[in-house]
Each structure stands twice: as structure tokens, then as C-alpha cells.
Structure 1
Amino acid sequence: MSFLKKLLVTAAASIAAASCFALDASAANGSGAYGASIPSYGSSFEIDVVKDCKADPSGGSDSYSAIQKALSQASKKSSGTKCGIVKVPSGTYNISQSLHIGSNTQLILDDGATIVRCFDSGCMIYNDASGAGGYDGASNILIQGGRWDGNTDNYGSAYTFSNLRLAHANNVVLRNMKVLNNKNGHHMEIGGVSGLTIEGCYFSGYTGALLKEAIQLDVMNCDELFTGFPPFDDTACNNVIIRNNTFADIPRGIGSHSAVPGVYYTNITIENNTFTGISNICMVLYNYKHCTISGNTITDSAAGITFNYMSDESFRHFFPPVNGFQWALDNMNSDADTVISNNTITTQQMWLQNYPYGIKIYGSYVNGTNNYPGADYAVSNVDIRNNTLTCADAAVLLTDVYNSRVSGNAISSNGSVTNVESYLISGNYCYSCEISGNTVSGALKSGINLSNVQDSTLSGNTISNCQSLGILSDNCSNTKISGNSFTDNTTGGIKVGSGCEKITCSENVIKNCGEYGIKVAECGTGKDIKIKSNDITGVASGITCVKNGRAYLSGNSFEAVTDKVYADAADLVTLLKPRNFTAEEITSDRIKLTWQSISEADGIHIYRRQAGSADFVNIASVESGSIFQDESLVQGTNYYYMMIPYIEYGEETSETKPSSEIAARTKINLQTAVIDCVAETGFTSRPVMPRFTVTADGTKLTAGIDYNYTYSNNIFAGTAKITVTGRGNCIGSCEQTFEIKLGAPQGLGGVQLRPSPLGSIEKRTYMVRAVRQPSSLYALSDTRILAPVRVIDSITIGLPYRMTSESALWTGSGYSYF
């Protein structure tokens, strides 16, 4: 086993042992977020920044002091039961410093109101946290409406700034805001907030070289991550809803590119947002857990969603936990419990993303650094379902992903742009994953690529029009590829490649896929790669085994293929052991052999040995059909048969698994048998059945076992016949005649009547015997004496040779007396 495979197995075992959840294939639940819950205040008051605080709506002068005065008054007078509402009428309001907002305050801008940043350093608005940690710095804040213009064209000297910054807070609503023009920062930077709703907002306008999210959710780890908001206690955002927002022409839309091992952004819902012209990644989600990402529309963007539990970039994404590495290891959990569903994602190659993708789930086993401990930062329990992905490069990328599902997605290549040659679905170092029911078409490489994948299933996918293969797998094990449909893929349907073991490809339908239906190369021991019950049509080679690729084939069907099975060496293919091998319709010189057809075989070798011989001899090769007639055999002889399917490679053949040995015995034809019986016998008035023997080829046969027999014409004088008919191992029939004659020959002595010694009695019956010699029976009949007689020892009655009343001895219905 390779080091990488050992690593994957070890990682899977360690996750199963260390995690507090069961590794199974059940669906993820997703987010339980309900967002901000602003109290229903008992009372409220309003402050108009123009009427009450003299803000200038013309934009001719600085309105910072007026607006801040209103915000401060609102925060000071409000409480948990009383809300302060600051109103900003339509107009343009220049501000020269950062505004700050307190608890229980609502800042509401009219649709026509614009706040313009007119200073170089700092954000436009932030919350008062008062040095509190956790989620206790501020609460119950609403900012609604208006345009928030960063004005970077006129004030762009600062290297970076964020338009809005909120931290250590709870219950925050940001609604219907247009946040514009940022430089190297975030339109909204939000750290350590629980109960956050961002809805109906619009984000656009960005300058600078850094790749920053418009909405950044952050963890309060250090001043480098979120400057100005101590204490840094690793508080992360929780219970967040981001919905119905629009992101246009910026590098990134939503997410967190910073994370702390063992700390997670939890219960996050991102739904029904629109992204267009995003030049890098629409959503960057590091260390998210219990998430639902649904109903979002992404068009003309470089990449859709990245969901990471470890960085796949050189940028520093992870920071050491406040409580130390051991705390991180104790709190790390791979169960993402995340659903990514019903999104529409269209990507294209852009200057900030040379390898565009739709959805990427990424984990990794890493050695420890100063920022994180060494561990397997795998991702598990993610459902990617029912999305429509039209991508210039990969659509779904899975790396170090466990117990997750990719199902019901419509995935295709974006043919309207200069595509990157890639796979539409790719799985690397994945364990116990399911890829099912997806429609995949138009990949410029293979539709699905698997590398170092274990205990996974690919089923019910429809893969078509890919420039290379439908499915490519390398170094995979314990994985099933079943029930998929492949059509018009240029190179082939499925390739089971280098290092694979324990792979089953079954019940797939493969049509018009170029070079081969299924290829096995550089892997397999003979039975661990199983190719079963696939329907392959319109390819050059149905199943190919090359470069020491060994496979076990059974029950596959082929139509319009040049070569059903191709192998470049002997012993690469193992076929199903022949079944239902039987001998039937056996005659004296012919045995018919039949068997269940083996579709993959190029032919069948028939082997035979005769009783008394120890060696089988190849007597025939059957190239088609499942019947062979073995003829010109010796009757009554035991024969033993064995059949071995073979595969042709070059000019040679390679035999596979032999059938079980069967035995058959040729029949004995009684047409040549001899019946041995007397030539003549005497008339008795009853059926005459002389004893006889039957011999065939010097062997005496047994009645009731080898033959049945009948007598005919054997009552009256004349020529009688014995007919012998074969049974058991004998066939045919033969006959023998004998003569029945009446009367005694010349010179016959008298016939003695010998009564039983029972005393005098009337009408005693006597048996009359006529004998040629004292010991030789000639004729036998019963004769009744009616006259009373005395007891005598014997009476001798002389009978002539020819009796005048010969026919009266037996009439067929009784005796005639004399």
C-alpha cells in the first residue's frame, strides 16, 4: 500500500475515533440560523439628522458631526425597551470621520440618501463595543437603506479600509444598503457577531490588488485579523442569514478567508443572493459548520464556492488559537453538516482565477506550523445537491472529504469561453462519499475523476460528450461504479487505472465512447477489479485490460463492438466460471454439450478424457454459441468433459477459469444385441415365455435396468417373438423368434394321472403331464375327471401322438372334459 493510501486510511480511522459524530451516509441537516432578533420595543423616538441636527443634505459641507450627534443621542437615550431611530432624508452627506453606532439604535436612510466618505483612513461606520468580549459589546442594531460610498477615487491614499465594521455584538440587521467603492478591504467587516441578518443589500466598486470579500465574517483572534476591537477571545460569528443581496464586479462576495483551528463559524445561511462579474471567488468559507447555501445565482464569475477546513493557498489563512494547540485539537471536528443546494453557477476564466470552478470542498492532512497543529483537517458530511453548474473548468472539487454526497446536479462545460482542460467532478483523498444522479456533459477532459478515493459509490450518473472519459479513477479502493450512463465520450466510458483495488463496475450503459467501454490498466489482482453486467455498444473494444491491468468479467453484453475483450498479455482476464455445463441428448455415438453463454469469451476450449485415461485432451474450440456435439464415440463408454473459456491476445489465446468436470456415458444400441433363448417349445394352452438372455458387445444386460421386453404370438402353436427395448443407458430394440409346437413326439410314453392322496372323492382334478423324458417337460394342461373313482395311487392313460380333440383342451373360456 502506498504512503498516500496509508495516510488516507489512517486519517479515516482517526476521524472515526476522535469525532463526536458517527460517520455514515445520512444527509446533512444544514443551517439552523434564524438571524437577528430585534426586540419589540415598548417605545421609540426619532431623530432627523437634518431637522434636528443640521446635517447638510446638499453635500456642500461636512455632515459627520450632525449625524454622529444624532447617533450618540439615540444610543444614550435608548434601552432594552426603548429604541432610538435616526432618520437620514434624501440627499448627499459628506462625512470626514468614521461614524459609530450604539445598542438599541436604528439608522434608517431614505432611498435617495447617500453618505460619502471624505477622509483617507478608517471605516465609514462601526459599533461601540466598549471593550466587551464575546457577543456582549453591542446589541440590537439596525442599519437600513441608502448609499454608502467609499469614494476611493478621491480618497484612495489609504492602503486598505472597510466601509462598515461591526464586532463583539448580537442582533444586528443590515438591510437594503448600497455599499460602494472599497479599496483592498471589505464592504462589510463583521467579527464575533451572533444573530446577524444581511438582506437586500447591493455591493459593488473595488480597487486594489488584494482579494477581499464584500461581506467578511471574522473570528476575534488578534489585532492583525480585526484591529481596534479587543479583547481577542476567538469569538466567531454565529447564527447568520445573508439573503437576497447582489454582488457585482468585485473580487469576492461573501465569506471568511481567516480561521482558527478548532473555532467554527456556525449556523450560517446564504440564500437567494446574486453574484455577477466576480473576478476571483463568490463565496470563501473557511471553517464553516451547520450551513445552508441555497438558491444563489452566480453568472459571469471566475469561481463559485470554496469551503475549506485548511488552506490550499500560500496566503496565511489560519491563526493560532488563543487557548493553545491542545485546545484546538480537542475541539476540532470534521462534521461540517452543510447543504449546498439549488444554486445556479456559471463560471468563466478571468484574470484573477486561471482555473475557475463551481464548488470546491477542501481539507488536508498537514504537518504542524506556528499557526496550527499537525492534523488531518478533513471535511465531512456535506451535501451538494440539485445545483446547476456551467463551468469553464471544474464544477465540483472534493479534496480530503468524508461521508459526503454529490447528487442530482446538472453539470456542464461553459463552451462560450476559452475552457481549461479539466474534469467536471473531481474527488481526491475522499472516503465514504456518494456521487449519484448527476448529469455531466461536455468536459474537456473526463466527466468525473477520482484519485485516492475509498469506500465510495458512483451511481445513476449520466455522462456525455466529454473529450476524454466518462469516469477516470486512479489509486482508488472499495469503490463501486454502477448504474451510470455514458454516451458519446471521445476516448472511453470508464478507466480503472493505476493502483486501484477492489473496484466494481456494474450495470453501466456505455454507448459510442470511442476507443473502449471500460479499461483496466496497471491495477488489479484478477478478482478484485470486477466488471459485471455492463451494456456496451458502439466502441472499438468493449473491455480492455492492458499494462498488467487484471480484471474479473461476468455477464457483460456487447453490440457493435470490434473486439469484445482486448488484452495485451496472457492471464489478465478472469472470466466467470462456466455455469450449467451439462451433457444431454446422449446417443450411442454422440454427446451434446451445452453451457450458459459467457459473453466476454472469444471462444471455449472443450477438453475430454475417456474412462481409463488420466489426461484431458483439447478436442475442440467453439468460437460462438453455447453448444458442442461430440460425435463418433464408442457406445457404452464413460467420457469426462471440461470446458475452459479463452481470450485472444495477439496470435495467442489465454485460458481462464475452467468449468467443473462432468461425466457422461454413451448409450448401448440394442440393434446389435443378441438374444439367446430356446428355438422351440411345446404348446401349453397358456402364454409360453421361455427364459432368455441379452448380450451387447460381450456384456450381459439386465432386464428392468437395461431393457424392457415383451412376448407376442406366444399362446397358440406357431412362431412367437421376444421384443427387447432399451432403457436406462440402452437405446433401440431387437427381436428373437421361437416356435410353439403341439402334441408329443413319436415314441412318447403314456401320461400318468397322479391324484392327491386324499381318499375317495368325486370330480377330482388331475394334472396331465406328457413327457419326452422323465425330466423334460413337453406339454402341460389341466384335465378334469368327472366320474367317481376310488382312491388310487396312479392311473396311466395312453394318448395318441395326434389327438382328434386337440382344440377342445382349451377353448379360451374353459375346459372340455374327457
Structure 2
Amino acid sequence: MKSFIKRCLVAVMIPALLVGMTVFSAGAVAEEEVILSVTAKDIDDYGFRGAVQSALDEAAQNATAELPYTVTVPEGEYDLSYVLRVYSNTTLDLRGVTLKRSGAGAGNMLRVGDEDGVNTGVTGYAYENVRVFGGTFDGNFGENTIIKAFHTKNFTMDDVTVLNEKEGHMTEFAGVDGLTIRGCIFQDQRLTPGNYGYEAIQLDVLHPFHITNGRCEDLPVSNVLIEDCMFADMPRAIGSHTAVHNRPHNNITIRGNVFNDMSSIAIQGLNWTNVTITKNVIDNAPRGITLYSEPGGCTYLSGKLAQKGGTQSHVTDAYQAPGKANITINYNILTDIGTSDDKYASYSSQGIAVLGEKLTARSSVDSGDESGGLPAGDYYIDGANIHANFIDVRGNGIRIEDVRNASVASNEIVCSKNTVHKDNYYGVVVRGNASASTVSYNTIMGAEVNGIQLDGTNGGSVTKVRFNRISNCGKYGIGVYDMSIDKIEDNDIMGTKNIGLFADGSKINYLRWNRIRNCLDSGIWLTSTTTATTVKSNTTVSCDDSNSFGRNTAQSHYSSSSALTTFYLPWDTTDKVGAKMGVGSMFHIAPDVRPTNAVATFSYSSSDEEVVTVDQGGMAYAVGEGQATITVKSDNNITKKYVITVEGDGGVSHLTAKPSAPVIILGDADGNGTVESADSAMLMRRIVYIETPCDDVTLSRGNVNDDLFIDVMDVTYIQRYLANIDTPYEIGKRIK
């Protein structure tokens, strides 16, 4: 076994020296570390597991935060018959290595730390700074979780492939603060109905029913980043089915991942707070994204966990009103949701759902896993922003229940009939004592029942329902029941199989400027139990009974449409003439027509589809950096143009003046407009996976040789440019 100390990245700079140039200092961007190399001879002498574990044990004895160890393994394919254990301040570098679990039913392949008892062993975050870099873990369809980490602070997986799991999780984490999983592949996970190992990445609770050989404690999972990963052929990709009462899993970001062929759901959260789920692509799943509060089952009392583990309880077991959840679900693309049924449980199909729960009595305790026993109370979710998602679904597009301070805006929802799980399905449904500030600017097509269902039977309210474009619904365009709503205005509804806009037992302050056409029953119908303060200037055209407004007279409404004279893009003010978008972000264009009784259809086009694409529902999607103009054209040839600059990987900001074209300079890794030594330092930080203040799109400008990778050769060419040495690439020059 060979070891040496690497200082300040000298080893990885060697390729730069080979091209005959002076290497400029990138700064001390890494601490000293010990490289401990397992050799082929070590493996021949001691066997693969013995040789690698010996190196990991040496690291366990000597590694510190100031002097971490990296254990490297020679490339190749190896059988692994017993678990590898990794400890604090250690990186296991498995690039080019494939590990195959020996025999079905074999144990874990990699675990952080030692095996403990239920009430003996480490507590808190006993292990820290553990990283797995590269490698393939082939579980060979053994029936134990492949990778586990408990009682750990800062666990990272980079570019790891995990394959072939049966009846268990692919990876499992409990009591982890700082979990980063980047660029990993998870594929082929089999689960027989009745078993519990649904998730490829499971955020769990330290209880022996779920976590064997780990001490029981009430530690949640916190500070999670899962990005740029691929998941295929499994029940659930990322999620939780356990939580701690009054101690949520916290600060969770899931972004830029691809999910294919789930048999249950792509992302399922249980008692998560401060959540961002963005720019993910989900294709073919019974359900897409669902976040729950604290359900009566599956949630543990802190006191019970502490008593069982002989550990400290950190929160009360009494009911406490939930704190802010701060959930943001945006810029996700969901397709083919609900084409198959969830074979593990009877869930209704849905694209995106955020669901609280109200317990009227203490929940029962599960005799199997001891969860439950929560006190009665309203376990609502406070704060959910669901916007700018594209959802192709056979089921509910977006569903929120028992949620406070929600908003559902600028989503495009395309519905088809569900043939595998019968239910009443809606484009957007708000119910179960949910309150929302807005349900606006959504395009909803083909909902099985109502396009928008607002049900306040158990309480709830919505402030604004505006600028939604709803078509071809099985019953109503908008259905309102026992709900308090301030404004229902400027909605465009067409082609419903029943009434365009229906309200029963509700209170509405303003119902105006809505355009409803081609419905098989009344345009608008308000029952005698609905109180509506201002009902005026609504247009109903070609409905079975165009003049029906319930108790309201038709004199203040329109039964025929006017020709469109102008329209505005895309929100309440007319001075937003441009936008800046991050790559992967979306926004929905919903024209505001004039006069208010004008009925029009619109088409959309982009001047450069390599920068921005736009579909015929008006959803604009930022594809790559650059500038493009979106043209919106009405059916009577009135047009508006909207200039969009795509730069970086952030969200959408709307501008009051035409945005300047982006300045993209080859080699300018930090995006400040100049190629300088800081850019080479920035790239070196990226190469060794040290956090940078810049996003990946900005850093990609440092990929000067356009080989799809940021590597040492890019640093070399930038250094040559700074030293006035010719390069074959136009470093320092503006590119598209």
C-alpha cells in the first residue's frame, strides 16, 4: 500500500507542465491530504475486501479534518462478499472500479461507521466528511441496502453508479446533516408488494425497524442536495416514508435530475421543510411529486425514540402548530404520469401534490414499527409555491390539501383519461381547508372532471383565480364549492361538457371579465346559496344557455364577442417587455385581451429554438444561453414580441426594458466579462469538487476546448492565453 501527501493540487496540475508552460498558482484551494493507494499486489495478497478495508482502517486511525485521507483503488471489476466500512475525513476514490455483491442476500456493500445496538454506540453526528467518488456498486439483486450512512455530518457521493437492488433501498440515510449526491446513476430496483424498501435514496429515521445496527435517536436528515442524477426502473427514486414529530427533515434541494419508469413515484417527501424541487424531468410514473406533512402513521414521537435509544429528546411530543414549510416546486417537466397504477398502494394518480392532514384524535400506534401516537391537531403545511411546471397527466395535475399560503401559477397541465385508477380527477384541485393566494395563469386542457376544483367544504379560501385558460373538461371549467374567493376574473374557458363556471354555497367578491364559449350547458351558473358581490362583464358565447347566470341578470354581461383590438403580455402591468431566464427555467405566457369580451386564440413562436422553445400552450422553456424573441400572434393577426435573454441557471426575472444580449466570453469561468487567473482557479476548484460561487452554466464557459468536460486541459489553455502563448481556441473572445 502506497501513500503520499498531496499539497495544493500539484498532482493534478502535471498535465499542464507537459505542454511546456509555467503553471500559475490557482491559490490554496484544497487542504493537504494523504493519498493512500491500494495496489494490485495488495489485492492479490489480501483479497479485495481485506486490502481496501485495511486502507480504510488506516484512514480511520489517522485522518483529520485538517489532513483528510483519500483511498484509491486500481481500476477493475471485483467481487465484494462483505461490507466495506468508511470513517471520518475519508474519500473512497473508486473511479474505474466496479464492485459486485457476491451472492443474492448478501449484506450492505458500503457503510459509514460501525454497527451499533439499538441503545449502544455513537450518538449525534459521530462521523464526518465522508465522500465516495466514482465507481459502480452492483448489488446483484441482493436483499440488503447497498450504501448506508447514519450519525454522519457531510456525506457526499459524486459520479457513483448503483445498480440491481431487490427488496431494499439502494441507499439509505438517517441522522445525516449535509448529504450531497451529484451526478449519480441509480437503476434497476425490484420490490415485491408488501415489502418496504421503496426508495433508491431513502431519508429515514433512526429506529430499529427501519435502521438495523444503528442507535435509536431523533436526528432528522438536513441540508440535502441531490442534483444531476439519473433514476430508472424502480418504485420510488427519492423520498421518505418516516419522520420525527416536530423535527422535520430540513433544507432539501432536488434539482436537475432525470427520472424514468417509476412504478410508484419519483419524489415523495414526509415532513420536509425548506424544500426546493426544480428543473427535474419525470417520465412515466403513477405519481410525480408528493409532499406530505406529518401523517398519523409513519411518524415517530421524539420521546419514544430517545427512550428506546437511551438518547436525548430534542423536541416536545405535544402538538405544536407547524412552522413555515417553505416549499417551492417549479420548472419541472412531468410526462406520462398515471399511465400505470401504483402496485404498492392505492394512490390516486397525480402530477404534483402537497398534502397536510388533520387528526381529530390521537393516532394509533403501529404494532409493527411503533410509529404513530401523534396527538390530535391540524398538521397543515405552511407555504407551498407551485409554478411554471409542465404536467402531462392521467389524473390530478396539481392537488393541494390542508395547506396555508399556497400559490399555483403559470403551470401547463395536459390531462388525459385515467384507465388504471378511477377517481374524480381535476386539472388543479384545492380542498381540505387549504388556502391559496392565487390560482392563476395556468393552462389546463382535458381535465376528466373540472379544470379547477375549489372545495372549501372543510374550510379554506382562495384570493385570486385569474388568467387561467381552460379547455375541453369533462364537467366544469371552474367548480367552486363552499369556498371564499376574492376575485375570479379574466379566465378563458371553452369546450366543457357541462357548465363553464359553477359556484355553490360560496362567497365571491368579484366575478368579472371571464370569457366562456362552446359549453354544453350554461356559461356561468351561481346557485342560490352563493353570495356574489360584483358579477359583471362576463362573456358567454355558443353555450347551451348563454344568458344563464343563476340569480344574476344578464344585462351587465355579453352574449356575443367583440373583435380583439389588443392584448398585453403577460401579467398585470404593460411595461414588462423582456425577461432573463436561467437555463432549464420556464414561464407561461397568458395574454390579457382587450376588449374584455374579445374571444381569441393565440400562436407562439421563437426566433431561436436553441435558446428558447415555446409550445402552443404558451409555455416558454429556456434551452441554452443566448437571446431569442418570442412572438405571440392572435388569430386576427395582432402580434406582440417578448425578448428573452438566457444566462446562468437561475429562475425568471421580468424586465421593463429590452434586455441586453448576454456577454459570453470563452474562458471566462466566473462570468465577470474578463479572462483572468481567477478563472483558472475557479476551474481547479470545480475539478476537485470544491464549492464555487458560480453555477455550472457560468463555469461551462471555461470548457474552452468544447470536449464536454471541465478538466485540467481547459486550465492549461487558459494559462497559455494569460501567458500570451497561442492556443487553438478563441479564448478571451465573445461567443454566442
* TM range, smaller chain: 0.5 to 0.7
Change (3 A) 1:52 1:235: same
The structural deviation recorded for 1:236 is 0.7
1:45 to 23, 28, 35: 35
Counterpart residue number, 2:518? 512
Counterpart residue number, 1:363? 356
2:247 to 249, 254, 263: 263
1:425·1:448 contact (CA, 8 Å) conserved in 2? yes
1:529·1:551 contact (CA, 8 Å) conserved in 2? no
1:278 to 233, 258, 262: 262
2:425 aligned partner, one-letter code: S
The structural deviation recorded for 1:218 is 1.9
Change (3 A) 1:522 1:248: farther
The structural deviation recorded for 1:551 is 4.8
Counterpart residue number, 2:300? 319
DSSP 3-state at the match of 2:51? helix
Change (3 A) 1:325 1:80: closer
Stretch moving more, 467-476 or 384-393: 467-476
Change (3 A) 1:560 1:552: closer
Change (3 A) 1:44 1:332: farther
Stretch moving more, 46-55 or 106-115: 46-55
1:89 aligned partner, one-letter code: P
Counterpart residue number, 1:180? 163
The structural deviation recorded for 1:275 is 0.3
DSSP 3-state at the match of 2:500? strand
Counterpart residue number, 2:611? none
What is the distance in 1 between the residues matched to 2:224 and 2:315?
A: 28
Change (3 A) 1:122 1:116: closer
Alignment of 1:233-248 (within 5 A): 233-248=217-232
1:441 aligned partner, one-letter code: M
Counterpart residue number, 2:442? 438
Where does structure 1 lack aligned partners over 5 or more consecutive residues? 1-37, 57-61, 562-598, 600-818
The structural deviation recorded for 1:146 is 1.5
What is the distance in 2 between the residues matched to 1:413 and 1:464?
A: 10
What is the distance in 2 between the residues matched to 1:133 and 1:336?
A: 30
Counterpart residue number, 1:390? 392
**Alignment partner of 1:166 is 2:149:** yes
What is the distance in 1 between the residues matched to 2:323 and 2:554?
A: 38
Deviations 1:618-649 (A, max 9, x none): xxxxxxxxxxxxxxxxxxxxxxxxxxxxxxxx
1:470 aligned partner, one-letter code: G
Change (3 A) 1:474 1:161: same
Change (3 A) 1:488 1:139: same
What is the distance in 1 between the residues matched to 2:202 and 2:111?
A: 14
DSSP 3-state at the match of 1:44? strand
Counterpart residue number, 2:20? none
Deviations 1:41-69 (A, max 9, x none): 3231222253434379xxxxx63222222
Change (3 A) 1:464 1:177: same
2:560 aligned partner, one-letter code: E
1:528·1:551 contact (CA, 8 Å) conserved in 2? no
1:538·1:560 contact (CA, 8 Å) conserved in 2? no
What is the distance in 2 between the residues matched to 1:432 and 1:410?
A: 18
Change (3 A) 1:72 1:340: same
Change (3 A) 1:364 1:479: farther
What is the distance in 1 between the residues matched to 2:515 and 2:45?
A: 72
Change (3 A) 1:363 1:397: same
Alignment of 1:193-342 (within 5 A): 193-209=176-192, 210=195, 212-220=198-206, 222-230=207-215, 232-311=216-295, 316-322=297-303, 327-329=316-318, 332-342=321-331
DSSP 3-state at the match of 1:70? helix
What is the distance in 2 between the residues matched to 1:253 and 1:55?
A: 39
Deviations 1:506-534 (A, max 9, x none): 2111122221111123623xx54643221
What is the distance in 2 between the residues matched to 1:72 and 1:402?
A: 50
1:256 aligned partner, one-letter code: S
What is the distance in 2 between the residues matched to 1:437 and 1:502?
A: 19
DSSP 3-state at the match of 2:140? coil
What is the distance in 1 between the residues matched to 2:103 and 2:158?
A: 23
The structural deviation recorded for 1:252 is 0.2
DSSP 3-state at the match of 1:249? strand
Percent of aligned pairs with the same residue?
27
Alignment of 1:590-609 (within 5 A): none
Change (3 A) 1:113 1:55: farther
1:511 aligned partner, one-letter code: R
DSSP 3-state at the match of 2:487? strand
DSSP 3-state at the match of 1:350? coil
Counterpart residue number, 1:485? 492
1:240 aligned partner, one-letter code: V
Counterpart residue number, 1:786? none
Deviations 1:469-518 (A, max 9, x none): 21111121244321211122232311102x32346422111122221111
2:62 to 63, 77, 99: 77
What is the distance in 1 between the residues matched to 2:161 and 2:315?
A: 43
DSSP 3-state at the match of 1:74? helix
1:318 aligned partner, one-letter code: T
2:75·2:94 contact (CA, 8 Å) conserved in 1? yes
What is the distance in 2 between the residues matched to 1:205 and 1:342?
A: 27
The structural deviation recorded for 1:193 is 0.9
2:287 aligned partner, one-letter code: A
The structural deviation recorded for 1:111 is 2.9
Change (3 A) 1:560 1:196: closer
Counterpart residue number, 2:427? 424
What is the distance in 2 between the residues matched to 1:73 and 1:290?
A: 39
What is the distance in 2 between the residues matched to 1:551 and 1:54?
A: 89
Change (3 A) 1:106 1:449: same
DSSP 3-state at the match of 1:327? coil
Where does structure 2 lack aligned partners over 5 or more consecutive residues? 1-27, 307-312, 366-371, 563-596, 598-736
Alignment of 1:493-572 (within 5 A): 493-497=500-504, 499-502=505-508, 504-521=510-527, 523-524=529-530, 527-528=531-532, 530-544=534-548, 550-551=551-552, 555-559=556-560
Counterpart residue number, 2:137? 148
DSSP 3-state at the match of 2:168? coil
Counterpart residue number, 1:472? 479
